[in-house]
Structure formats: structure tokens, C-alpha cells
Amino acid sequence: MANTFYYKQWALATALLIAAVTARGQILSPTVLSSSGAYYSSANSSLSVTIGEMTMVETFTASSIILTQGFQQPEDFNVGIISVAEPGWNITAFPNPASNYVTVQLNGSAASNVSLSLYDIAGKLVSDFGSLQNPAGTTLNLSNLAAGAYVLHFTSSSHSQNIRLVKN
């Protein structure tokens, strides 16, 4: 009976040791959410650069070559929508970041007959508010939107302007 007990312990320990030695963890492949990048090549080499968020970093070596995958960003690149004020109007949206409501004010000679649309950061139309009824102060309800970055797009017959809006 004692031999059977020790045999069972030895078999269990051996099985656990084999499982520990042969078990492998999760294998991750690099995934990038890229906002920009470039590719350069010459007769002897090539270089691919991606600006974005990478989910893993790994280094490979072979003889005298070392390759490290990872996040490289030697310069600060501004990626996004740049608002450039059009002559003839001045647009403000506040509070920004907003929780449930944002107030839009439009002043200037081109402030009449302006339509307003809201896009998500991927460029998909989220809401078309139509023509601003009161350019001096219109409140927009954002309570049905998920938290994130959006773009308010103002257009008239002679002007257009974008304002980045963040919803908490």
C-alpha cells in the first residue's frame, strides 16, 4: 500500500514536470494601430518605419544581425486635424472636453446659413445638425455619444472649418 502511494506521488510529480517543461505560454504576434509611417530602401538595405501603438516588443538575433521590433518615434509628429480659422468668421465650442452638452458660437460676417455636422475620429458621420438656427449660441446634446474624440464640421457657401471635440 505504501509503495502504491509513493508510485502515485512520483507519477503525479513526473506528469507535472513534463507539463511544465512542454507547456507554452500565449504566443503574441505584433499588432500596430498605425497613424503614420514610411518606407526607405537602397541597394543594400531597407527600412520600414511605423508610427503608432504596438502591443509587444521583441528582439531577434542571427549571427551579426540584431533586429528589435518595437515602438520607434525619433520625432514628434502631429497627427490629427488642424483647425485653421477662416477669414470672416470665428467659431468657439465650449466646454471642450464636454460631458453631455456643448455650446457652439459663431461670429463674423459669414455667420449666416451655416450647417453643422459631427464626425467620429474615423471620419464617419455621427450626426447632421443641419443649419444653425442661432449662430450666436447653439447648444448641442451629446449625451447619446460614447466617450472619445469627434470633429465638428462647419460649412457655408464660402467657408468650412473643423473643430476637434472631446467627449468625456
What single letter denotes the amino acid at residue 34? S
- pTM, two decimals, is 0.49
Q: Tell me which DSSP letter residue 141 carries.
A: E
Give which of 135, 90, 145, 141 is closest to 112, Cα–Cα. Answer: 135
pLDDT value of residue 88: 65
pLDDT value of residue 123: 86
* C-alpha span between 118 and 133 (Å, rounded): 16
pLDDT value of residue 11: 85
Start-to-end CA distance of the chain, whole Å, equals 68
Query: Which domains occur in the chain, in start order?
Result: 27-76 (no CATH), 90-167 (2.60.40.3080)
15 φ/ψ angles, rounded to the nearest 5 degrees: -65, -40
Q: How far is CA 11 from CA 1, 5, 7, 18, 84, in A?
A: 15, 10, 6, 11, 74
* C-alpha span between 143 and 99 (Å, rounded): 7
pLDDT value of residue 65: 75
56 φ/ψ angles, rounded to the nearest 5 degrees: -155, 160
| Residue 62 burial (CB count, 10 A) | 7
For the chain, residues with pLDDT lower than 70 are 1-2, 23-37, 39, 46-58, 66, 68-88, 108-112
pLDDT value of residue 137: 84
pLDDT value of residue 35: 58
